[in-house]
Amino acid sequence: MIRFECDYGEGAHPKVMELLEKTNWEQTPGYGCDPWCEKARQQILKACKAPDAEVQFVVGGTQANQMVIASILRPFEGAVSATSGHINVHETGAVEATGHKILALPEKDGKISAEQIEKCFIEYEESPTQEHVVKPGIVYISQPTEYGTTYSKKELEEIYGVCKEHKVPLFIDGARLSYALAAEDSDLQLPDMARLCDIFYIGGTKVGCLFGEAIVFTDRKYADGFRMIMKQHGGMLAKGRLLGVQFSALFTDGLYEEIGRYADSLAIEVKKALKNKGIPLYYESSTNQQFFILTDEQWAKLADKYAFSDNGPVEGGRLLRICTSWATKKEDVAGLVAEIENL
């Protein structure tokens, strides 16, 4: 069985493992107050061209989402999100567990628009029963989205413009950010991300690390008290230096960008094969996730050999997803492309 169903099926990129191994006997203080975290912090700030930002490292994405939102919102505020947002449908109510409603807006290709967000703000501001409704207190989007699609620089500028006008912080889930930045049609790089939101995170779990997300508070005021929130949520790793070590490896010699390019290029090969074969793509993605519809017959031909993510029956067959990553082997992609051609 060759697994394409997710981008967290293996361990860590060899260069990350190597540094973990190499530093294993070093003695450091705990909880992220060690030289490796400090080094990785500086590497990230440099890559983001954001010398005044603050960086905190946490183990996983659900933690990052839950803790950032819980830290920033007052009790009567909620988080604006696409209906398809990870926080709205794949975290077992983690945000609500901290007391906050998610104000879900209908998505289009996994995205929400500046116009929708502005309308949401204005409806609240003009509500005759404002004290009875939840105040939009943060906007949450993902880059790339759950469907592999991406926000363009223009879209992001518009969204952030609306957020700033209405004084609501913008928070970007970058669990797979590398794959968005590396996309052929991307016009955004790390410094753009840092410039166009208040908080975002650079995912490591799905981009070469064993685990880990680096949260960047481009406006430091939003980091106030965050480390206490981390500890309170069990999100402060005892051996915090493991996060520093891994992100330091990722931000050495362009490994982070390299992984994104590598995985995207393999996904695009599959996408091209699907297109050539006339197999319908469900979303127009240029990142490491590709969604497409196979007839039951087509799927039967592949299912024994390949693990895809199965999103159930849709019109025309089954909605399937493949993911690529740093660990995807070129020969496995070539093999899959050949199989697609023969469907």
Residues 161-190 that bind its own copies (CB under 8 A): none
Stretch of 49-57, 65-73, 165-173, 178-186 contacting its own copies, by CB under 8 A: 65-73
User: What is the b/e burial string over 320-342, where b = at least 16 CB atoms within 10 angstroms of the residue's CB?
Assistant: bbbbbbbbbeeebbeebbeebee
- CA distance readout (Å), 156 to 107, 186, 305: 15, 12, 40
Q: Are the CB atoms for 157 and 101 separated by under 8 Å?
A: no
Stretch of 128-136, 152-160, 189-197, 297-305 contacting its own copies, by CB under 8 A: 128-136
Q: Check binding of 125 to its own copies (CB under 8 A).
A: no
CA angle 222, 33, 47 (to 5 degrees): 60
Contacts made by residues 333-340, CB under 8 angstroms, sequence distance 24+: 333/266, 333/269, 333/270, 334/269, 335/2, 336/2, 336/4, 336/270, 336/273, 336/302, 336/306, 337/269, 337/270, 337/273, 339/301, 339/302, 339/305, 339/306, 340/270, 340/273, 340/274, 340/277, 340/279
Q: Check binding of 52 to its own copies (CB under 8 A).
A: no
Nearer to its own copies among residue 148 and residue 194 (C-beta): 148
Kindly state the tokens that stand for 308.
């895809």
Nearer to its own copies among residue 30 and residue 254 (C-beta): 30
Among 310, 316, 330, 341, binds its own copies (CB under 8 A): 310
Q: Check binding of 225 to its own copies (CB under 8 A).
A: yes
Nearer to its own copies among residue 23 and residue 252 (C-beta): 23
Residues 16-45 that bind its own copies (CB under 8 A): 17, 20-21, 23-31
Interface map 129-168 toward its own copies (x if CB under 8 A):
x-xxxxx---------------------------------
Nearer to its own copies among residue 160 and residue 306 (C-beta): 306
Nearer to its own copies among residue 268 and residue 327 (C-beta): 327
Among 42, 98, 252, 265, binds its own copies (CB under 8 A): 98
Residues 256-295 that bind its own copies (CB under 8 A): none
Stretch of 37-45, 97-105, 107-115, 186-194 contacting its own copies, by CB under 8 A: 97-105
Q: Check binding of 63 to its own copies (CB under 8 A).
A: yes
Among 80, 114, 207, 210, binds its own copies (CB under 8 A): 210
Nearer to its own copies among residue 187 and residue 224 (C-beta): 224
* CA–CA separation, 67 and 98 (whole Å): 9
Q: Check binding of 316 to its own copies (CB under 8 A).
A: no
Q: Check binding of 106 to its own copies (CB under 8 A).
A: no
Cα 211 to chain center, whole Å? Answer: 13
* CA–CA separation, 278 and 133 (whole Å): 48
